[in-house]
Structure 1
Amino acid sequence: MKKPLEENGIHRAKLWEIAFYALNNTSTNIYMALMGYISYYLIGIVGVGAVLAGSFVTVMRIWDGVTDPFVGFVVDKTNTKFGKNRPFIVVGQIILFVSSFILFNVTPSIPKSGRFPFFVVVYMVYIIGYTCQCVVTKSAQSCLTNDPKQRPIFAMFDSVYNVVALTMIVPIYISGTLIPKYNVTNDAGEVTLSAFYNPEMFHHLQLLFGCIAAVCAVLAVIGLWRKDRQEYFGTGEVVKVGFKDYVDVLAHNRAIQMLVASASSDKLSMSMRNNATIMITMFGVICGNYALYGSVSALTSIPVCLLTILGMGYIGRNLGQKKALVIGTIGSIASALGIFLLMWLGDPTSMKLPIVNGIKGLLNPATWSPANWSLFGLTFIFLYIVLGGFMSIASSIVIPMTADCADYEVYRSGRYVPGLMGTLFSFVDKIISSLAATFVALMFAAIGFRKELPVESTPYSDGIFWVTMACFIGAPLIGWIINLIAMKFYPLTKEKMEEIQEEIAAIKAKAMEKN
């Protein structure tokens, strides 16, 4: 066995390695953002009803969850010259790009009667690729670094990437550039075909998002290059594991049990909150201007990043990851209630913000004139920034916490099963969060949207308001309450993790003496 690069039992990654590795999650999240509009593609191009489209997303998320344990088992058995984790990034990314290209470029050419079966089969292959790459985001955490003060740094980079890419650039680009470009209008300027039902917009998105995701995946492979080696796996020795060992882990590892309970409920509620239809009804219907979505993203993304970095840097690194999740959850509850009261008691149509029409608009000084603001808009932006900061801390810290659970299992039983930890987490997460699209579709169907979902030009109604608030505020509140309950029983405090790392270091030292 090779001698680890660190002598004191703590092995650390370089800052740029953590920064590059965090891009693996960004890569898969970019595809998740692309597929966030899949219900509209199914309705407008494949030709299915709104409820069936929502149910399809649910069934495919279940399939996604089913593939997780099998891929995790393969990861735990893998130890190649190219590493344990990197092969899954490469294979996953290739499958993702090829299958998504087929979905959005070949499906429209299939006879209408055969489009849905064809789409289902290709999408199932897509999910396998998504699972292969996603598992690495969690499984490689423990081999990258076991320093408790370094692990939250991953969450800091991950939060910044996701906020900038997914909550700022993507919404601005879609609402400010693609919607005007791909909306089909008549001579009177009325929209006759929404961009969300235009296959050309999906062709554009797939190619652009696929190329960006591929670049992120390559950088993630580079970030893992030095540390994806056997001497950084658990005790530094290969320990054979079977399905019986998995059963024991599931039955006795309290840390992963509580983390799964916390994160899966949180993911379900966040999936409902961030559902593409909810964003459309929130800004396009209730506030009366879908372009506000891009403006809110542009105005809040950088402040949210700063709050996340400051909060994670102090809370996560100094007080421990468990404490970061608890504080982030409490802050999220308080600020979400503030937004609900503002939307309920105030007049959302009075929201006035600088409208950011694409990237050029973001950089235009005239966009930020004081005349483009209102009191409602300023209040909303303030609460949205606070909410975003606390949410980012609570959600991002979960990924490095899976590495703590993997180390706890090494400490508890001597088994190094990062693939199991990551895919168990993902399995329950996906099974539960798969219900999000169905819940949203059923709630809108209950108020009359049975054949199609609302778009930005749909007239306002009280039913739309309360369904949107139930998903945007109500569901997250339930998830956050479950978070707090689960953390009461989560055993891995900062002090406990220090004890665990000392014990693992002692085990490694004994193994090195034998070799």
Structure 2
Amino acid sequence: MGENSTIQYNRAKTWQILLWPGNTCINSLMGILVMFSSYIAVGGYGLAVATAGLIASYSRIFDGITDPLIAVLTDRMETKYGKIRIIMVIGFTIQILAVLTLFVWGIGQGLVFYTIMTLIYYIGSTLSGIATNTGNTVMTNDPQQRPKIYRWALTYTTIFASLLSFYNSTVLFPKYGGITNELLQELCITFVVVSVVLVILALLAISEKDKPENFPKKSSGQRINFKDAWLVLKNNRALQVLLITGSSDKLAQQAAGQAAIATIIFGIIIGNYEFYGTFKLIEVIPTLLVLFYVTHMAGKNGTKKSLIKWTTISMVIAASIVVFMVLIDPTQISVATVPTVIFVILYVSFHATMIAISACTQALKPDITDYEFYRSGNYMPGTVAAVYAFLDKAISSFGTTIVAFTIAAIGYATVQPQPGDPSTPAVFWVGMFLWMGLPIIGYIISLIALKWYPLDKEKMIEIQQHNQQYREAAAAEANEETSKKISG
């Protein structure tokens, strides 16, 4: 009997699949903006580079701690209007007010004010993340559709991030003559405007799915509690593997994605920071082509299989980039045709595979939520995602610390790297290590851990069949109790 004849999947409409991922894009865009917070901390609040790095790290640890605490409460939440939209609006409002305060309204207020506003931002980020992960799970459980949610989320993120990077490096940077407070303020306002549009579209997309019947109650009849969060971590092997693979990759991405690293690579080693914005536009189309192909194959062959394949490919490309940069004069990139073409091909390929890996990794989360429902009878998408986020953020938070202390060791203790600074051997090798070395290490760890990931395509079919039977039995029992009350 075919898969589709035995399982009645909860499918989403095409327009919902297209619009809902805008909510994921908002979190990604806010994350990109916050990566510039070290610049505003140093230039706007008078902090040392290392101090800014420590605040960023400890703030992400705080963010991780609040994830399971808030998620347990939101998974217990019951209203006749659902829950996702309420959490979305509260979280998004906190986020935009916090970033506007940090980047625009609060300049010059000092260390304590900066730290408090950063922590408030992460409370909003936690709520937004819970809404996103819960929505991703209830939107659809069709294995053909789920990867498409992450396809479109990363499509929007890639396009908007590239356009904003181009805007930053080719419009704002020449306008202000450096990465200044004024540049960051204008960039912040632009990010906020884009995010407001995206959140309105996402609210429309999730409204049909955000209903009480889409949130099954705990099998025992009790409410979700903190013990359940611990049992998820203790007993769910799929989540344990995701923690290792996701956090190792995130640690590398957090470090390599810091604004200071882009400045070191393009503004110092290559010596042409404006090329960075142009380059970000060049990589959009190839990235989207790879992303669409990989998410299509993930829906066809299973996410685990695709993740292993593309992690291996990305690791090989990253190593090739380091070798290429060692063998040539990097200042010829963007000047001479041959090194420019080779660099563009290599780095565009790396970025495309990195985005594809991220889509596959994120697509594991709703599968793990369904697996937990299958395993324990507890449906708690927010808690499952938050337990992952707690440890993921605690580990990946050290990415900013690694960057801060590493660049401080080569002379950037009180100022951030600026385009045009001298390119020394120390700057080169630190740049290579943070830019490509850490991702390679993360990929190796991921490949080892994925050998123990239990949720392949066949297992997910079994899980969805079981969960469908459970839901049908629960619905029949509820109807029977209702009939008894009416007849009584």
**TM-score bin, normalised by smaller chain:** over 0.9
Match of 1:489 in 2: 452
Query: Within 5 A, what are the aligned runs for 1:39-118?
Result: 39-108=38-107, 110=109, 115-118=110-113
Say which SS state the counterpart of residue 339 (structure 1) adopts: helix
**Is residue 268 of structure 1 aligned with residue 251 of structure 2?**
yes
Partner of 2:368: 405
**Separation of aligned partners in 2, 1:245 and 1:70:** 12
1:173 to 167, 172, 177: 167
Per the TM alignment, residue 385 of structure 1 is displaced from its structure 2 partner at its CA by 2.1
2:139 to 141, 144, 151: 144
Q: Give the residue type in structure 2 aligned to 1:280.
A: T
Separation (CA, whole Å) in 1 of partners of 2:229 and 2:394: 19
The equivalent position to 1:432 in structure 2, one of 395, 401, 404, is: 395
SS at 1:108 equivalent? coil
Distance 2:108 2:271 in 1: 36
- The whole-number CA distance in structure 1 between the counterparts of 2:186 and 2:394 is 30
Q: 5 Å matches for 1:155-174? A: 155-166=150-161, 168-174=162-168
- CA displacement 1:152-172 (0-9 Å, x = unmatched): 111210121111111x11210
Indicate if the aligned counterparts of 1:239 and 1:415 stay in contact, CA closer than 8 A: no
Name the counterpart of 2:482.
Answer: none
Alpha carbons 2:10, 2:140 under 8 Å: kept: yes
One-letter code aligned to 1:52:
T
Give unmatched runs, 5+ long, in structure 2. 480-488
Counterpart AA for 2:114: F
Q: 1:210: how far off?
A: 1.0
**DSSP-derived class of the 2:452 partner:** coil
Shift in Å at residue 202 of structure 1? 2.4
Q: How many residues align?
A: 473
Residues 332-351 of structure 1: per-residue CA shift (max 9 Å, x gap): 01111111111011121111
The equivalent position to 1:133 in structure 2, one of 128, 137, 144, is 128
Structure 2 residue 461 is the aligned partner of structure 1 residue 467: no
8 Å contact from structure 1 (residues 135, 422) kept in 2 = yes
Matched-pair contact (CA < 8 Å) for 1:91–1:132: yes
Counterparts in 2 of 1:122-271, with a 5 A limit?
122-166=117-161, 168-183=162-177, 194=178, 196=179, 198-234=180-216, 240-271=223-254
Deviations 1:320-359 (A, max 9, x none): 1111211120110111111111101112111126xxxxxx
Query: What amino acid is the match of 1:153?
Result: K
Query: CA distance change for structure 1 residues 124 and 453 in 2, over 3 Å: closer, same or farther?
Result: same
Indicate which of 392, 399, 409 corresponds to 1:446: 409
Give the whole-Å Cα distance in 2 for the aligned partners of 1:24 and 1:130: 12
Corresponding residue for residue 415 of structure 1? 378
RMSD between aligned residues: 1.7
Q: Deviations over 1:450-491 (max 9, x none)?
A: 111211121110000000000111100111011111111110
Between the aligned residues of both structures, percent identity stands at 34
Counterpart of 1:488 in 2: which secondary structure?
Answer: helix
- Contact 2:229/2:383 (CA < 8 Å) preserved in 1? yes
Query: When the two structures are superposed, what TM-score results if normalisation uses the length of structure 1?
Result: 0.89
AA aligned to 2:226 is: F
**Deviation at residue 105 of structure 1 after TM alignment:** 2.5
Q: 2:58 is matched by which residue type in structure 1?
A: V
Whole-angstrom distance in 1 between the partners of 2:412 and 2:267? 16
Which residues of structure 1 form unaligned runs of 5+? 1-5, 184-193, 354-372
Cα offsets for 1:25-59 (capped at 9, x unmatched):
11111111111111111111100111111111111
Q: Report the Cα distance in structure 2 between the residues aligned to 1:434 and 1:247, rounded to whole angstroms.
A: 22
Give me the whole-angstrom Cα distance separating, in 2, the residues matched to 1:287 and 1:109.
33
Counterparts of 1:443 and 1:202 in 2: how far apart (Å)? 24
Equivalent residue letter for 2:173: I
Whether the aligned pair in 2 keeps the contact of 1:144 and 1:232 (CA below 8 Å) is: no
Question: Do structure 1's residue 283 and structure 2's residue 294 form an aligned pair?
Answer: no
Query: Could you say which residue in structure 2 is the equivalent of 1:366?
Result: none
CA contact under 8 A between 1:234 and 1:410: conserved in structure 2? no
CA contact (8 A) 1:155 1:400 kept: yes
> 2:102 aligned with 1:120, yes or no?
no
Whole-angstrom CA distance in 2 between matches of 1:209 and 1:389: 23
Name the CA distance, whole Å, in 2 between partners of 1:7 and 1:220.
Answer: 31
* Counterpart for residue 10 of structure 1: 9
How far off is 1:9 after superposition?
A: 3.1
Residues 213-234 of structure 1 show CA distances to partners (whole Å, capped at 9, x for unaligned) of 1211111111111112233235
Q: How does 1:306-321 map to 2 (within 5 A)?
A: 306-313=289-296, 315-321=297-303
Counterpart of 1:357 in structure 2 is: none
Distance in 1 (CA, whole Å) between partners of 2:148 and 2:100 is 34
Task: Determine if contact 2:68/2:229 at 8 Å carries over to the other structure.
Answer: no
Question: What residue in structure 2 maps to residue 369 of structure 1?
Answer: none
CA offsets per residue over residues 138-183 of structure 1, 9 Å max, x none?
A: 12222111111111111210121111111x1121010000111112
How many angstroms apart in 2 are the aligned matches of 1:285 and 1:72?
Answer: 43
* 2:484 alignment counterpart: none
The aligned residue for residue 392 of structure 1 is 355
Take 1:91 and 1:437, find their aligned partners in 2: how far apart are those partners? Answer: 27
Distance 1:261 1:230 in 2: 33
Taking the aligned partners of 2:253 and 2:188, their CA distance within structure 1 comes to: 24
